[in-house]
Structure 1
Amino acid sequence: MARIAVNGIDIEYEVHGDGSALLFIHGLGSCKEDWEAQIAPFAQRHKVISFDLRGHGQSDKPAGPYSIAQFAADTAGLLRGLGIDAAHVVGISLGGAVAFQLALDQPALVKTLTIVNSGPDATVRTLKEKFAVWMRNYIVRRKGMARLAGLIGPHLFPKPENRAERERFIERTSRNDPQVYLHAFGALIGWSVAERIGAIACPLLAIAADRDYTPLAMKKAYVAKIAGARLEVITDARHALPMEKPAQFNAVLGRFLGAGA
């Protein structure tokens, strides 16, 4: 592990392997540990970089508010600080939003783009969505991060064979400072680059779990708006796809990177 100064804060990161740069961006309330099952396999052919977004893991946790554009600027600063001209970029959930923003704001830095269980728009539209946002804020403020983690974990990893992943997720999420978590959550809610995605020119792969809580129809719709983009669906899988089904996920990502290396 190492630290680098970016945009006035210190970002913690790891680098493994050698070859073309491959950057992994984790999800909300998590950290670079999201990608433990990807590091060794992909480090055989790539310089694999994982890091903690501001407010997450071992990176600095400055006062908010945060924004997706700010997360993307931090990511760009990390790549430039490491002397990387362009990277294959993979993001899950919140990390997918950051990856979209990075590809639009700094297209020269993104060689290929892989979006996992995410999309280019987090606008809250329906009463059900508004209630879900309110409820998450309420739980974090009144019950704490451990309570939130305990509620989410069984939905992400319901099967007995994923007990270890479930327990790691709960422990990892419980570490978060509640206020900092809400800053990051707030950055995502209402964010959108949906009107800009047609400008993405690099190869794009969307990887979706068939049982993810973000609709498959939404992913099909945005993929159709990006020239050359394609969608791969992994069955019997949920939101934390790279952790729940690492072999299937790694195979799909590996084929894409092999074609786009």
Structure 2
Amino acid sequence: MRLRSSCAAVPRIAPPPGPGVELRRIRVNGVDLNVALAGEGPAVLLLHGFPHTWQLWTAVLDRLAGRYRVIASDLRGLGASSRAEDGYDAGTLATDAEALLDALGEDSAAVIGIDAGTPPAFLFAMRRPGLVRQLVVMESLLATLPGGEEFLTAGPPWWFGFHTEPGLAESVLTGHEEQYIDWFLNAGTLGQGVEPAIRDAFVHAYTGTEALRCVFSYYRALPSSARQIQEAARTGRLTVPTMAIGAHPVGRALEQQLRPMADHLVGHTIEDCGHIIPLHRPDALLGLLEPFLALAGPTVDPHPGHV
């Protein structure tokens, strides 16, 4: 059971990782990334979104680490990674991911991205398919590629405009970070909330003007990211085995964007699941990830599944 905790005190430091998880600080592409490592075997790289840190993957990490070397990084500027001045476009983040694998001595990985982690995961697979064994993407749109029209009928989510205006959101939200993060965590789990320790870690990660500036820089870089995504889709195909997973609210929109360009795509939606899939429905997610990651070769499923 996940517990809703909207009034817990903000910790002075983030809680320590669980047993079997090593935290390392790794210099890549001009920034220091905070990276959680667990397990041994073929590499699996996990890329979180907003308002998350690597601890988004807490409920799935142990089982994945039983068969894989799990690499869960705080993205550039977020969590305990260094506060970069720039580089928040999807292309630079994809380069961060590639450089991280290289720094860890990995010559390939299954790459799993959700929310803001999806565009860099996609570009990484498009640009360097030899390094990406498999791609899993969740609960995001890839810019304005065809397929997302129904989701965008009423326009993008309200917070996109708020976050995009330079300097505005951080000036308004500084001192009120708890309430704002709680709204996303509760909405992203259909009102269920997340466990207090994880909730506190997320609030801690996004407290302070500089922390907010960094995360809102992702939204301010969306035009650059969109151009990169559109160019990749125009000039190439997604050749690696790919799985698109939707829940509420994105549903099948991401799968519909990928299907025209993907050579090997399976699509699933998880019913009664909010946007924060790894914390809201971890068992359902693992039920999709484990058989997909275990596949020796690509598969094609023209009939999307529902869990």
The TM-score bracket by the shorter chain reads: 0.7 to 0.9
Larger radius of gyration: 2
1:1-53 Cα shifts (integer Å, max 9, x gaps): 11111112211112211111111111134211111111110111111111111
The structure 2 residue matched to 1:141, chosen from 142, 166, 171, is 171
> Is the Cα–Cα contact under 8 Å of residues 68 and 98 in structure 1 kept in the other structure?
yes
TM-score under structure 1 length normalisation: 0.88
Residue in 1 that maps onto 2:48: 26
1:240-260 Cα shifts (integer Å, max 9, x gaps): 011100000011011111114
- In 2, the alpha carbon distance for the partners of 1:16 and 1:90 equals 15
Between structures 1 and 2, the one with greater helix share: 1
Written as runs of structure 1 = structure 2, the 5 A alignment for 1:83-232 is 83-121=105-143, 128-129=155-156, 132-137=159-164, 138-144=168-174, 145-159=177-191, 162-165=192-195, 168-169=198-199, 171-173=201-203, 175-176=205-206, 177-188=211-222, 191-192=225-226, 193-194=229-230, 196-197=232-233, 199-209=237-247, 211-212=248-249, 214-232=250-268
Amino acid at match of 2:275: H
The structure 1 residue matched to 2:271, chosen from 235, 240, 251, is 235
Cα distance change on mapping 1:131 and 1:248 into 2, 3 Å: closer
- SS of the residue corresponding to residue 100 of structure 1 reads helix
Instruction: Please state how far the C-alpha of 1:195 moved relative to its aligned partner.
Output: 5.2
Cα distance change on mapping 1:127 and 1:230 into 2, 3 Å: closer
Written as runs of structure 1 = structure 2, the 5 A alignment for 1:34-49 is 34-49=56-71
Cα distance change on mapping 1:29 and 1:143 into 2, 3 Å: same
Instruction: Please state how far the C-alpha of 1:172 moved relative to its aligned partner.
Output: 0.4
> Is the Cα–Cα contact under 8 Å of residues 140 and 148 in structure 1 kept in the other structure?
no
- In 2, the alpha carbon distance for the partners of 1:194 and 1:31 equals 27
- SS of the residue corresponding to residue 238 of structure 1 reads coil
Written as runs of structure 1 = structure 2, the 5 A alignment for 1:46-57 is 46-57=68-79
5+ residue gaps, structure 2, are 1-22, 298-307
Residue in 1 that maps onto 2:35: 13
Cα distance change on mapping 1:128 and 1:201 into 2, 3 Å: closer
> Is the Cα–Cα contact under 8 Å of residues 110 and 135 in structure 2 kept in the other structure?
yes
> Is the Cα–Cα contact under 8 Å of residues 66 and 184 in structure 1 kept in the other structure?
yes
- SS of the residue corresponding to residue 133 of structure 2 reads strand
Q: Relative to structure 2, which stretch is displaced further, 120-129 or 134-143? A: 120-129
Overall identity of the aligned pairs, in %: 25
TM-score under structure 2 length normalisation: 0.75
- In 2, the alpha carbon distance for the partners of 1:251 and 1:70 equals 31
Residue in 1 that maps onto 2:282: 246
1:49-104 Cα shifts (integer Å, max 9, x gaps): 11111101111112135211111111111100111000011000111111001112
> Is the Cα–Cα contact under 8 Å of residues 237 and 261 in structure 2 kept in the other structure?
no
Instruction: Please state how far the C-alpha of 1:163 moved relative to its aligned partner.
Output: 3.5
> Is the Cα–Cα contact under 8 Å of residues 28 and 185 in structure 1 kept in the other structure?
no
Amino acid at match of 1:152: F
- In 1, the alpha carbon distance for the partners of 2:218 and 2:253 equals 26
- In 2, the alpha carbon distance for the partners of 1:47 and 1:175 equals 25
Cα distance change on mapping 1:175 and 1:16 into 2, 3 Å: closer
